[in-house]
Amino acid sequence: MLLKRLGLIVLFLLAACDGGSRQAEGPRYSNMPAGDATPLYRLAVHLGYSPEKLTRTYLPLIEHLNRSVPGARFELEASRDFPAYQAKFRAREPELLLPNPWETLEAMKVGYSVIAMAGDAEDFKGLFIVRKESNIRSAADLKGKVVSYPSPTALAACIMPQYFLHSLGIDVNKDIDNRYVGSQESSIMHAYLKQAAAAATWPTSWRLFQKDHPKEAAELKVLWETPPLMNNSVMVRDDVPPIVRERVRQGLLDLEHGQAGRKILAGMETARFHVANDASYEPVRKFIERFEREVRPVEKK
């Protein structure tokens, strides 16, 4: 038991150390032969999973696309952290993206467009995780204390929680100690290890943490939830052929209609894919404008 806990602490520390890296490369996963001449399309997922967890979570989706989109093959591409992921799409490297809503707006600027929304909008919200014995009862109780987040650009797990605290009278730039720790799991582990008074994350990562680390999760609880916003998008680069774009879109939308597809969705903690386009994310644009006007820039210039 002690070895298991020490192992978790080592993983947490490694994730925290990697948080500042801007390494743009990451592992890629495919079930197709490397020498296949069929056009290759890479799906880059932003969530910052470890390679093992990303494979377990998203490779079934890649296999589904390889079965359902003829004349194309697909690979899954991981990134070390949020900055690495953002560097990739700004360089127009992956053909397909699964970005958060703020990254969606940024990717539009370099030629990607939305073809679907991943999950229900009601599930895209920030969560504040604390230990069960925590004496935090109000936002004012966080003054002078550490709050952990995956990244300053994580919308549900940082921007929305910071705006939530701002709306309750907290100056997030002065009243609390903001720690950006590199990943969703690392943020939650900060609360578990008593390195933060509260940890910000979002429902998908919290559910996965409860599955992967039930003993540790049993010592934690959700203290507050933010109001929801649009969920993550699926985007396609503007040079992907229209027929491939449409078949990918339909393949995603069809997942909820069969037992095998629903199993894939359950593994990703995603209820379903919804029809969406660039205009669907206009509420996100307005929210970001308000956040930057009232709280801070999302990115340091």
Taking Cα atoms as reference points, which of 246, 236, 238, 237 lies closest to residue 71?
A: 246
Residue 4 has a pLDDT of 43
**Could you tell me the two tokens for 37?**
């001449």
Q: Which helix (H) or strand (E) element contains residue 29?
A: strand 28-29
Taking Cα atoms as reference points, which of 43, 48, 120, 123 lies closest to residue 275?
A: 120
Domain with CATH 3.40.190.10 in the chain: 20-121+230-291, 123-229
Q: Tell me the HSE value of 167 on the side-chain side, using a 13 A CA sphere.
A: 10
Distance from C-alpha of 166 to C-alpha of 160, rounded to nearest angstrom: 10
Helices (H) and strands (E) in the chain, counts: 11, 12
User: Are the C-beta atoms of residues 272 and 119 closer than 8 Å to each other?
Assistant: yes
**Could you tell me the two tokens for 22?**
């801007």
Residue 19 has a pLDDT of 38
Residue 56 has a pLDDT of 84
Taking Cα atoms as reference points, which of 274, 287, 235 lies closest to residue 102?
A: 287
Distance from C-alpha of 134 to C-alpha of 192, rounded to nearest angstrom: 11
Residue 129 has a pLDDT of 98
* 218, amino acid identity: A
C-alpha distance across the termini of the chain, in Å: 45
* Edge-to-edge order in the sheet of strand 73-77: 28-29, 73-77, 40-45, 96-98, 233-237, 112-118, 273-275
Q: Tell me the HSE value of 300 on the side-chain side, using a 13 A CA sphere.
A: 3
Distance from C-alpha of 240 to C-alpha of 276, rounded to nearest angstrom: 18
Can you give the pLDDT of all 301 residues of the chain as single tens digits? 434 444 444 344 444 444 333 344 555 545 555 555 899 999 999 765 666 778 888 999 999 999 999 999 999 998 877 888 999 999 999 999 999 999 999 999 999 999 999 999 999 999 999 999 999 999 999 999 999 999 999 999 999 999 999 999 999 999 999 999 988 999 999 999 999 999 999 999 999 899 999 999 999 999 999 999 999 999 999 999 999 999 999 999 999 999 999 999 999 989 999 999 999 999 999 999 999 999 999 998 6
**Could you tell me the two tokens for 13?**
């520390």
Residue 2 has a pLDDT of 39
Residue 78 has a pLDDT of 85
Looking at the domain 20-121+230-291, which fold is it? Answer: D-Maltodextrin-Binding Protein; domain 2 (3.40.190)
Question: What burial letters (b/e) apply to 183-219, b meaning 16+ CB within 10 Å?
Answer: bbbbbbbbbbbebbbbbbbbbbbbebbeeebeebbee
In DSSP terms, which residues pair with 274 in a beta bridge? 117
Residue 36 has a pLDDT of 59
In DSSP terms, which residues pair with 127 in a beta bridge? 201, 225
Domain at 123-229, CATH homologous superfamily: Periplasmic binding protein-like II (3.40.190.10)
The contacts of residue 28 (CB under 8 Å, 6+ apart) are 42, 75, 76, 77, 78
